[in-house]
Amino acid sequence: MKDNKSQFKNRRTFMRRSLAVGAGLVGAGMLSKSSLFAQSVLPLAPGDAAILRFLAAAELIEADLWTQYAELGGIGDNPPIEVDPTETLNPYQSALSNLDPDGPQYIASNTLDEVSHAKFLNAYLKYRGAQQVDFDQFRTLPGSTATGSTGIKRLTNLMNLTVDTSWYTRYRSATNPDFGATFPQAITLKNVTAIPRTTAELNDPNSNHLQAIANVAAFHFGYIEQGGSSLYASMSQKVSDPEVLRITLGIGGDEIAHFLEWVDFAGNGVQPNVAPFTDSETGLTFPNFFSPLNPQIQPSLIFPVPCEFINADLPHVSIIRPLTDQNGGAVATINSFIADGLFIGQSQQFLETLILMAIEADAAQRVVI
């Protein structure tokens, strides 16, 4: 039998050898990982590529429309990076500030987020060897000529909107569109502009006119971001690659953060001290939603009301909804944008390109990789 000193020496020798081998394995692992990054990464599954391409398309559309809002209603650079709190506000920014003093900052931040989403998704598609999305040839629409606008051509039209405001009543209802529920409009906004169209309109002495435009924008902000929240949630259910799922959950969460801010923002336009009022130039009226009080349009209900989910027999739960392709998928998103008037003046080729991308994204199915 070996003595204790000999046993200790053998154990120490064993540990040294083990540590040396372990260090070698760790080093080899690090080199292996580095070499993997140096080599081409695995290509995306066709379904994941279709999903990311459509999401990149949607983000390019969002970046385009939010940039228009930021040029006239945001503060800071375009795209906004740094904000000067001492910057003098134009009348449109002042009207937006009536809904929330930080409104112009929120617009700037939301724009920066959407621009970052579009750039990242296209860069990731390239990184994984997939085709990127380029809509530059479709930037043909004239935007606002008001002071502050860059005058560049646009993908989207913010000056002839028919805003679907049923999102406002949907999130205050215990029913779910994925169960077939439908919802009334919170307020009728048909063929209206969400930005000042000219410098004369930007400086219109009728303050109610600029406030009405700002209120339209507020409901449009909520409409856009609730759509993005449902789109990312519905697409995430189809993703196969865990890394792609990280992307859809990560960006989708940011869309939800946007949405909740604009829920509050829009509600501030239909309560004192802003509402009630009527734009004498257009006849558009924004009532006080607290008088009479109606829970389905109550402005102080910021968070989603619990609703039916998965099975009508299960307890109601607060969720993002809709979550199905039929109501919140890619094709549903494009059809909603078309109904919104966002593409008035766009080419048929642009619409057909979007619809084809949407069909491919909705057709994606989760597969085991």
Mean pLDDT of the chain: 90
Summarize pLDDT for 19-51 with one digit per residue, the tens: 344 444 334 343 333 333 434 589 999 999 999
What are the structural domain ranges in the chain?
A: 1-39, 45-363
Amino acid identity of residue 275, one-letter, is: A
Global pTM reads 0.88
For range 47-62, the mean pLDDT: 98
For range 203-226, the mean pLDDT: 97
Which one, of 332, 340, 212, 217, lies nearest residue 276 by Cα?
A: 212
Give the pLDDT score at 319: 98
User: For residue 191, is pLDDT > 50?
Assistant: yes
How far is 99 from 206, CA to CA, in rounded Å?
18
Summarize pLDDT for 234-265 with one digit per residue, the tens: 999 999 999 999 999 999 999 999 999 999 99
How far is 313 from 343, CA to CA, in rounded Å?
41
